[in-house]
Amino acid sequence: MSGPELSIVIPAYDAAPTIGRQLRSIAAQVDPPRFEVIVADNRSTDGTAQAALADAAGLEVTVVPALRAQGANCARNEGINRAGAPLVLFLDADDEIDPGALRAVVDAFAADPALDLATGVPLGEDPATFELPVSQKFLPYGISAFLAMRREVFDAVGGFDERFVGGQEEVDFCWRAQLAGFTLGVIRDARFSYVPRSEARSAFRQFRRYGATYIQLYVKHRHLGIEGSSPGAERHDIRRIVRTSARFVLGRGNRVDSARALGWIIGRWQGNLRHRVWGPR
């Protein structure tokens, strides 16, 4: 029997309560290609490795320790070192994929030799009209919760930048891949569900990291002509944060949405101060 057609790499940190959901969705695939599952356990303290093996739903799961550094990028880089297939699919430990997603990935790359890396379509989006998101008015990127690529793409760009912890890693990776001449696309038949943070404190922390790494992304790539912001433009966020803080404290509207908005603004400001720039809004 020949080797796997697709290597699935799942970075995991303290994912014991959720990883079973993703593994069960993989086990429920319809007409799947030959695949392997690699869980890269990134310094978990809650028994993630044991949970992945216990909740494997009949799958053969390889657990790889990713101890060199904290962060999903370290886990992704360590996980792919154990991958044996020409195609790699990165998934998150707390999401789910639709039953036909794996077959759609392999078929899409087989049908289009020019396709080098691609993302799927989140549930709730219309597959016919879904477009790749664009960051900082520069280039599009694929979503790290479902990011597939040929192995040579990963090797050519040197993997994920482990200096990004908490966000923007997929943007940086996809930008570097496109700048190296690789083609990014969408696999419209590959659907996945993204599970957002439902608790306000957790959502705030998540979006604060997103905001800070957004500025880090700008600092790394601004030499390519990306435009930043200005003190005048930032004054708009001062008024916005006062309004959002008032809604949050008074319990008006959706507290999780308010927490995300506050986290994003504060994270951007932290990034601006840390790097001494006015990054894009």
Q: What is the DSSP letter of 13?
A: S
Q: Residues of CATH 3.90.550.10 domain(s) within the chain?
A: 6-193
- Rg of the chain over Cα atoms, rounded to whole angstroms, equals 19
Helix axes 169-179, 200-221, angle to 10 degrees: 30
Residue 125 has what pLDDT? Answer: 93
Q: Give ∠ CA 156-139-101 in degrees, rounded to 5.
A: 70
Cβ pair 212, 267 in contact under 8 A: yes
Cβ pair 42, 66 in contact under 8 A: yes
* CATH superfamily label, 6-193: Spore Coat Polysaccharide Biosynthesis Protein SpsA; Chain A (3.90.550.10)
**DSSP H or E segment with residue 96:** strand 96-97
Nearest to 92 by CA among 8, 163, 29, 24: 8
Q: How far apart are CA 265 and CA 212, in angstroms?
A: 9
Model confidence, pTM: 0.90
Residue 22 has what pLDDT? Answer: 94
Nearest to 279 by CA among 72, 73, 135, 133: 135
Q: What is the mean pLDDT of each run of 10 residues along the chain (281 residues)?
A: 90 93 95 96 93 85 92 94 95 94 98 97 94 96 96 96 93 98 97 78 88 96 93 72 60 71 88 92 84
Q: Where are the alpha helices (DSSP H) in the chain?
A: 19-27, 48-54, 72-80, 101-111, 151-157, 169-179, 200-221, 231-250, 255-275
Residue 140 has what pLDDT? Answer: 97
Residue 253 has what pLDDT? Answer: 55
The DSSP line for 169-195 is: HHHHHHHHHHHTT--EEEEEEEEEE--
Q: How far apart are CA 209 and CA 166, in angstroms?
A: 5
